Amino acid sequence: MKTYAVIDGSMITTVVQSADEAAKLAELFPEKTIKEVPAGFTGNKGDDIRFFDEDGKRLSIAAATEAGLVPEVGEHEAAIWEGGRYVLTPDYTGVPYWKKATGAAVHLSLGRKPDESMTDIEPSDPQAVWNETGWTVPEEVLSERVRLERDRLLSESDYIMMADYPLTDKSDWKAYRQALRDIPLQPGFPQEISWPQAPEKRS
């Protein structure tokens, strides 16, 4: 297993035992040097700390403790240097959350936890609103969408109903257009709509 250290000048301030943890520390401390150190080194007082940097300068441990320098971190946690020691802080960076009140995405910074005003369930629709169990689109929004589509389909066939349009029998089109107008009367409106099929355009 490889061992990595955070080096600040000639002081080793953090020691970790995996490349993943080293990558996390590199994100937390971009201004510091992360390098591999002798395997098995943990930062405890009893460890052999006689190793050197590329220039042959001996490196020493800053604030070594019996328990080591970096605490074990759990899910959604990070170890940060604070008050001369490392402490655990919430880490939800990169975890998607949304505001229940608006549906807007929330980008949590290091140290900030999600609260009751947020959810990790993505909104199902740009106009969805949050209720006790999840996101739903209000009935009035669905109704307006259906009516707009109904009106669009009606307008597409307006010219067929004009007196000078060369179609002898327009009964099928009249029935189709009436079915469009009656869509709000369907039992499933506005959640479930059975759209009528437009007749063929024949003379």
Could you tell me the pLDDT band of residue 191, with boundaries at 50, 70 and 90?
very high
In angstroms, the CA 110 to CA 98 distance is 17
In angstroms, the CA 35 to CA 25 distance is 11
- Residue spans per domain, the chain: 3-70, 71-122, 139-185
Tell which residue, 55, 56, 62, has the closest CA to residue 5: 62
* 0.85 exceeded by pTM: no
Over residues 167-178, the pLDDT tens digits come to 889 999 999 999
Res. 60: pLDDT tops 50: no
pLDDT of residue 64: 42
